[in-house]
Amino acid sequence: MAQAWAMALHGGAGPVRDKTYEREEAHMRALLDEGAAMLDGASSALDVATTMVKALEASGFHIAGKGASANADGVWELDASIMDGATRKAGAVAALVGFESPIEVARAVMEKTPHVLLAGAGAVAFAEKHAMTRVADPHAYYTPATSRLVAPGELAHGTVGAVVKDKQGRLAAATSTGGLLNKMPGRIGDTPLIGAGTWADTRCAVSCTGQGELFIRANVAADVTARILYARQSLHAAAAGALADMAALGGDGGLIAVDADGEIATPFVSEGMKRAVANAGGLRDVRTFR
Ligand code: ASP
């Protein structure tokens, strides 16, 4: 049955069995209630996706926003993107240094510039001009939410994301990340790349998490809508197929997706993926493992 509204959240595909994720799950449960109240009202998919990702960034529970880790030079370079399915407008920031909410800056790029993606110094200048909240002291602000002890050279990862269908049938997707632990300075993953880590149109909204290089090489988020459009696949088949294509290259991770009927898919090929789903029919579910 088609759902008037539906939403899914993720907190990254980095979880491992030797940890529990109770506080992350409790926080996501509270976010589902907040999102549900917004969607029961007149909020747009775009506003709900922004609000959810902003809260996930601020929680410090995931490798995004406050919970992000510094790169190999000790600098916090963050990536984020957002896409509005109804208009196919999109905004993104890459290697952004010094601001609390990369997703807020990405949304401003979408709404206040003729561009889609701003990176590095240009992104900082833009965020400053639009009075986005600064991080005064990175070492005091960030509380790296590493999912486990990471060996030198190991590339563990985490991200947050939201996909939403609202009562008007509009879809939106938003994704924000600190990227890979120990990443090289200047490294940019799939998260700020529209089509790789984030996508929304009138068919589906998708937010990815996992080893970004592989998601870029498989163009995962856009592959989900392509499979729906050209191969007439269901959301579930399209999401699983796009992810399998990435996994065949040797990557791990997962994605969350919602379609125009309010169907939700949350496939992953990693050990776990912090995730939460809700719809107008009363569905509320939060999980980390299978
Ligand atoms: N995809 C992100 C990146 O490669 C990391 C993640 O989702 O865990 O930057």
pLDDT at 154: 52
Read off the pTM. 0.97
User: Would the pLDDT of 147 be above 50?
Assistant: no
Q: Put the strands of the sheet holding 253-259 in their side by side order.
A: 198-200, 204-210, 253-259, 264-265
User: Would the pLDDT of 126 be above 90?
Assistant: yes
- In the chain, the amino acid numbered 184 is M
Tokens of 149: 């002890």
Tokens of 181: 């632990």
Nearest ligand 1 atom to alpha carbon 14: 8
DSSP state of 70: P
Half-sphere exposure of 141 (CA within 13 A, CB side): 20
Positive or negative torsion for Cα 243, 244, 249, 252: positive
Average pLDDT value for residue range 148-175: 82
Ligand 1 centroid – CA 215 distance (Å): 9
Average pLDDT value for residue range 28-46: 97
Under the banding of pLDDT at 50, 70 and 90, the label for residue 150 is low
Say if residues 273 and 254 touch (Cβ distance below 8 Å): yes
Nearest ligand 1 atom to alpha carbon 158: 8
Query: Does ligand 1 come within 6 angstroms of the Cβ of 159?
Result: yes
User: Would the pLDDT of 185 be above 80?
Assistant: yes
Average pLDDT value for residue range 76-89: 98
**Test site for ligand 1: of 190, 216, 217, most ligand atoms within 8 A of the Cβ:** 190
Condensed to tens digits (0 to 9), the pLDDT of residues 242-279 reads 999 999 999 999 999 999 999 999 999 999 999 999 99
Catalytic residues, which ones? 159
Indicate which residue's Cα is closest to atom 9 of ligand 1: 179
pLDDT at 290: 86
As a whole number, the mean pLDDT across the chain is 95
pLDDT at 20: 87
Tokens of 276: 């939460």
Positive or negative torsion for Cα 236, 237, 240, 246: negative
Average pLDDT value for residue range 48-66: 97
Ligand 1 centroid – CA 281 distance (Å): 31
Query: Does ligand 1 come within 6 angstroms of the Cβ of 212?
Result: yes
Ligand 1 centroid – CA 192 distance (Å): 10
User: Would the pLDDT of 67 be above 50?
Assistant: yes
Q: Spell out the domains of the chain, with CATH numbers in brackets.
A: 6-287 (3.60.20.30)
